[in-house]
Amino acid sequence: MMRIHRVAVSNAALLEIDGPVWSVLTSQSVALSPSPVAMVAAVSPLMALSTKHGKVKGLSARMAHNGVTLNVRISWEDPDKDDRIEDLDRFVDAAAVLFPLGEDANPFTMGDDRNPVNAWFWKADREEPFDVIARGYSTSQRRPGGASGLVVRAEHRQGAWVVVFQRPLRPAPGEFTHFEPGATARVAFAVWEGNNADRGGQKAVSGAFLDLKIDS
Amino acid sequence: MSATIPSKQQLKSCKRQLATVIDLNKCMGCQTCSVACKNIWTQREGTEHMRWASVATCPGSGYPRDWEKKGGGFDAEGRPRAGQLTTMVDCGDSFQFNHEEALSPGASGGRRLEPRSLQGGAPTWGYNWDEDQGKGEWPNPYFFYMPRKCNHCTNAPCIDACSRNAIFKREDGIVVIDQDRCAGHRHCIEACPYSMIFFNPVTQKSEKCIDCFPRVEQGIAPACNRQCVGRTRAYGYLDDPESQVHKLVRKWKVAVPLHPEYGTEPNVYYVPPMSPLSFDGEGKLTEAGRIPIAALERYFGPAVRSALGTLVEERKRRQRGEPSELMDLLISRRWSDRFAEFTREPV
């Protein structure tokens, strides 16, 4: 079970990519594999032909809350920094953290109409992340991060991306995941390698939802 | 499948189908259609490289460059074929000139006005780069012009490919991309075997010909069709027996789709070029056309043979002084004959 550590640190300090708080938390490795695009062939039979997507093999995650915000710091190796669309056939790097809003949500299909999912989505060419709601593949809606108070910091150095997401544990009403200290939650991860033309459903994913324990 | 997610069949359904017919015997490559379209739709930031309507020389690399080699569409069994994305240069680039350097009063002498590629450096390819080159050996060289736009296909592969279900057919058969749903994943561009969808790097969304639907809704033909000075184009509903498109496509069967083997059932149809006659080794005219029939079949499929046969036969009938409905249709003495109910003035 992955753990969200309770820390006595300000929101501002948690948003610092190299803040001292992050170095004392244990990092947890998450294996990634190409998303099973055949599962969504009805929505995109063309994408279902893809065999080269999902190049990133894994990431390391550290998670913390301070009673006010949930913070997720992920990093992964990526020798090419793709943070700009340089030509019409180029894509940017991206990453997302996915939470279920319904009990039986399937992360591979982005939930379904009874079991929505909520994603925190960062793209390397944007300062503001998206707070995504989806009710099944093809239905995702990108809401501005400001809707839930989601913010992100990202940096590419020494052949790796480091991204910190921060969002209030209990955001304003809306379809956003709520987190309670002492409770459990579930999470999944996705990474898009721009240089590999990863986008949309063509991504590297962590598989079934992973269990999370939130420190009280 | 969730009840809230429309099926691809639903997204492809329409009540009627609008269609365009272009007579390649009359197209002179003047680009009025391309300019009419560009002036209306693609002068926005991020659309500089786009030509929703274009004319290129055939045979040639076409527009966008080498579009016929980029895959997409469906195979013989109806399965989607993988395709490639186009680049800025493929799409014709958008040359910028060194006006300041060469032309301003204070400029130092000796600098010539030079184009620069949007990607930097001197251009290596551009729109109509191989204009009028064509093929064939003297004294029988040949080429013809190929005006193109989105085919608003009946079996549109872009609709299948879009993983966000952002693309759909309107009731009138026009295929549109919902700009609010589009996330710029560009599967549609890979899927379109005609490479008629373009990526806007500023909005990060895909765009294409909308068949001028705001005009069409007002009874005005699309700008590319309406502005054509050569009266090469007809427009209307395929199921309207009074429309020229119906008569040329369904009744006379002289207008055929481009690359029917792509399996998308396109709704832009072409009256194939009848070709000038070729010379023999002695310099005498023969009965054979200069454009090899195999070359035309490569573009329009086997139906081009009977289409050309009908055209030649009807032309001869007219030459004998007999009436020919087909020749009258193709001549179109009044421009308004070509556009069915879409004859209102745009201004």
Mean pLDDT computed over every residue of chain B: 95
**Which listed CATH number (2.20.25.10, 3.40.50.740, 3.40.50.11540, 3.30.70.20) goes with B8-92+127-339?**
3.30.70.20
Q: How many residues does chain B have?
A: 347
pLDDT for the residue B344: 98
Look at residue B105 and tell me whether its pLDDT is greater than 80. Answer: no
Contacting residues of B for A45, CB less than 8 Å apart:
79-80, 160-161
Look at residue A140 and tell me whether its pLDDT is greater than 60. Answer: yes
Which residue numbers of A have CB closer than 8 Å to B's CBs? Answer: 40, 42-47, 49, 85, 87-89, 112-113, 135-140, 142, 199-201
Mean pLDDT computed over every residue of chain A: 96
Which of B2, B83, B87 comes nearest A87 by C-beta?
B87
Does the CA dihedral B71-B73-B77-B80 come out positive or negative?
positive
SS3 labels along chain B: CCCCCCCHHHHHCCCCCEEEEEECCCCCCCCHHHHHHHHHHCCCCCCCCCCCCEEEEECCCCCCCCHHHCECCECCCCCECCECCCCCCCCCCCCEECHHHHHCCCCCCCCCCCEECCCCCCCCCCCCCCCCCCECCCCCCECEEEEECCCCCCCCHHHHHCCCCCEEECCCCCEEECCCCCCCCCHHHHHCCCCCEEEECCCCEEEECCCCHHHHCCCECCHHHHCCCCCCEEEEECCCCCCHHHHHHHHCCCCEECCHHHCCCCCEEEECCCCCEEECCCCCEEEEECCCHHHHHHHHCCHHHHHHHHHHHHHHHHHCCCCCHHHHHHHCCCHHHHHCCCECCCC
pLDDT for the residue B263: 98
Give tens-digit pLDDT for B8-66: 999 999 999 999 999 999 999 999 999 999 999 999 999 999 999 999 999 999 999 99
Look at residue B2 and tell me whether its pLDDT is greater than 70. Answer: no
Stretch B87-103: mean pLDDT = 89
Q: What is the DSSP letter of A24?
A: H
Q: Could you give the CA distance from residue B44 to residue B198 in angstroms, rounded to a whole number?
A: 13
B71 closest CA partner among B332, B313, B259: B259
pLDDT for the residue B3: 54
From A148-157, B147-156, B189-198, B285-294, the region with the lowest mean pLDDT: B285-294
**Beta strand B205-208 pairing with B197-200:** antiparallel
- For residues A116 and B103, which has the higher predicted lDDT (pLDDT)? A116
Residue A88's contacts (CB-CB under 8 Å, 6 or more residues apart) are B49, B85, B86, B87, B88, B90, B91, B186, B198, B199, B201
Element (H, E) at A13: helix A11-14
pLDDT for the residue B1: 44
Count of H-run helices and E-run strands, chain A: 2, 14
Domains of chain B, by residue range, sit at 8-92+127-339, 93-126
From B83-87, B262-266, B279-283, the region with the lowest mean pLDDT: B279-283
Q: Which residues of chain B from 164 to 193 reach within 8 Å of chain A, CB to CB? A: 164-165, 183-187, 190-191
From A37-46, A192-201, B35-44, B66-75, the region with the lowest mean pLDDT: A37-46
Element (H, E) at A119: strand A117-123
User: Predicted confidence band at B112 (pLDDT cuts at 50, 70, 90)?
Assistant: confident
Q: How far is A45 from chain B (nearest CA, A)?
A: 6
Stretch A197-206: mean pLDDT = 97
ipTM of the complex model: 0.95
Give tens-digit pLDDT for B202-245: 999 999 999 999 999 999 999 999 999 999 999 999 999 999 99
pLDDT for the residue B243: 98
pLDDT for the residue B107: 64
Structure tokens belonging to residue B220:
């005005």
Q: What is the DSSP letter of A112?
A: -
User: Predicted confidence band at B109 (pLDDT cuts at 50, 70, 90)?
Assistant: low
pLDDT for the residue A40: 85
Which of A40, A43, A139 comes nearest B4 by C-beta?
A139
Q: How far is B295 from chain A (nearest CA, A)?
A: 30
Q: Could you give the CA distance from residue A203 to residue B183 in angstroms, rounded to a whole number?
A: 15
Structural class in CATH, domain A2-214: mainly beta
pLDDT for the residue B108: 63
User: Predicted confidence band at B111 (pLDDT cuts at 50, 70, 90)?
Assistant: confident
Asked if A106 contacts A204 with a C-beta cutoff of 8 angstroms, the reply is no
Stretch B77-99: mean pLDDT = 93
Look at residue A166 and tell me whether its pLDDT is greater than 80. Answer: yes
Residue B192's contacts (CB-CB under 8 Å, 6 or more residues apart) are B72, B73, B83, B157, B158
Domains of chain A, by residue range, sit at 2-214
Q: Could you give the CA distance from residue B274 to residue B246 in angstroms, rounded to a whole number?
A: 21
**Taking CB atoms and an 8 Å cut-off, how many pairs form between chains A and B?**
81
Asked if B17 contacts B237 with a C-beta cutoff of 8 angstroms, the reply is yes
Contacting residues of A for B168, CB less than 8 Å apart:
none
